[in-house]
Amino acid sequence: MEYKTEELSPVKKKVVITTEAQEVDAAIMGAVALYKTSVQIDGFRKGKVPATVIERRFHDKIYEEARQDLVNVHINEIMQALDVSPVSGVNFDGPDALERGKTYTYSIEFEVLPAFDLPPYEGMEETQDKVVVKDEEVDEVIERIRRDYAKLVPIDGLGPAVDGQIASLDFAAYENGQALDNIKAENFDLALGEKQALDDFENLVKTIPYGQEGEGEIRFPDDFIASDLAGKTVTMKVKVHAIKERRFPELDADLAKKLGMETMEELRRKIVDSYVKSRTELNKSSTQKKLLDSLLKLTEFPLPESMVEVQVSTLLAARKSRLERMGKSLQSLGKNMDELRQEVLPRAREIARYQVLMLSIAKKEGLEVSEQEINSHIYQASLQNGDDFTDLKRQYEQSGMIFALRDRLLADKAMELVYAKARITEIEHPETKSEDEQVTAEDGSAA
């Protein structure tokens, strides 16, 4: 194998690879040998099928696998020889198939980290907020727990239901006298005053006494997530079967034991510990951001556009997800994809700059991300989304997302190293001080 490298830009390379006919034949023979040990053909014992029969029967698959294996081996060898790692997928350009006895020439293009002088990142000085958990915050959590364990009991009287109560109801929507199949339910429990439904619908329910029916006009917002309903006005018919309220459990050991603890004091400690853990990580992240901003002000470098594009896609996907949780869609913003891309582009470039800097530090420090760490992350993602691990990993590899994942994990490692080498001073945030302490600090009466 011979190759020639061309610098397309400070961050982009092109490599033209020429594979000798002898290596092409060896790759094909290797693929044939693998098939020979695994396939079964009538008239032959397993493993005894002649190579010529195997190659003829499975020609296309064998040659494609041989080509992929050959290219993958070459890419790994070239990356090691050039001492570079692509920060995006590797773009392949070449013939689709190998031919026995002939050379095989193709090219690859990929982006790499820019070369620049790293700013000094050891021994940086920064402040970090001290973690404080207030009693009232713990009380709020306990009240939410009581709410989760509350029993629903019918109220006395006919109602109608008011905010804070739960109405058990049947409802159905009609348009021009015709029922809409996708807007109906039976024995649906609606907690009023908690923004679980459109305001018009809640207001209608609040007019209907227990055991009675009512109807009213309901208008769906113009940006409603179900586009076929957005902006429409329908007639909603509702019947209230029951009106209930929550009966909260006592603050005693019985409640604690339902949560796996013996006493309320132990429960409060667990809540405090949870707050401390999450806020410590949050404050740490905030300090890391300040360290990063300080470093980025000290240097400039070109950005690999593929890294920026990955961040643009990630930011748009996150925005889409947030809108859908609010019952809206990207289309509800009234902007086309080019306009949305331009909106997130500055943030995408900012994130890409962070990654370039951290990856460059990681390279200098000899940090690495193992195959096990990458697989672990993909495995966790497969569990969260209900995907098959093998299929999801293949998607990462085929789409080039595996490079973006590796870079993100490596950048996080580098940020941890910068933080560990910094001199961090904990300070008490003004909001956590008592009123007397704040007054003293503001009038300058104490040093």
What digits encode the pLDDT tens for the residues 355-387?
Answer: 999 999 999 999 999 989 999 999 998 888 888
Residue 417 confidence (pLDDT) above 90: yes
pLDDT tens per residue across span 318-330: 888 888 877 777 8
Centroid of chain to Cα 286? 20
pLDDT, residue 184, reads 86
- Indicate the range of 218-222, 280-284, 298-302 predicted with least confidence: 218-222
Residues 87 and 182 in one domain: no
What is the mean pLDDT of the segment spanning 63-91?
A: 88
Q: Is residue 130 within 8 Å of residue 429, measured between CB atoms?
A: yes
Give the span between the Cα atoms of 402 and 353, in whole angstroms: 19
pLDDT, residue 56, reads 86
What is the mean pLDDT of the segment spanning 217-238?
A: 82
pLDDT, residue 439, reads 36
pLDDT, residue 432, reads 52
Residue 44 confidence (pLDDT) above 80: no
Residue 351 confidence (pLDDT) above 70: yes
Residues 242 and 293 in one domain: no
Q: Quote the tokens at residue 346.
A: 């500055």
pLDDT tens per residue across span 163-179: 888 899 999 988 888 88
What is the mean pLDDT of the segment spanning 326-347?
A: 86
Q: Write the CA distances from 212 to 152, 190, 197, 199, 235, integer angstroms.
A: 20, 16, 20, 20, 17
pLDDT, residue 8, reads 93
Give the span between the Cα atoms of 406 and 377, in whole angstroms: 10
Name the percent of the chain lying above pLDDT 70.
94
Domain boundary among the residues 197, 230, 247 is at 247
Name the percent of the chain lying above pLDDT 90.
42
Q: How many domains does the chain have?
A: 3
Residues 404 and 282 in one domain: yes
What is the mean pLDDT of the segment spanning 331-347?
A: 89
Give the span between the Cα atoms of 21 and 381, in whole angstroms: 42
Residues 24 and 45 in one domain: yes
Residues 270 and 418 in one domain: yes
Domain boundary among the residues 247, 267, 290 is at 247
Q: Residue 430's pLDDT band (boundaries 50, 70, 90)?
A: low
Q: For the domain that residue 211 is a member of, what is the CATH number? A: 3.10.50.40
What does 78-132 look like in DSSP terms, one character per residue?
HHHHHT---SSPPEEES-SS--TTS-EEEEEEEE-PPP-PPPP-SS-EEEEEPP-
Q: For the domain that residue 346 is a member of, what is the CATH number? A: 1.10.4030.10
Phi, psi of 429 (to 5 degrees): -70, 140
Structural domain containing residue 85: 2-111
Residues 76 and 225 in one domain: no
Q: Residue 334's pLDDT band (boundaries 50, 70, 90)?
A: confident
Domain boundary among the residues 247, 276, 302 is at 247
Residues 296 and 419 in one domain: yes
More confident residue, 304 or 403: 304
pLDDT, residue 431, reads 61
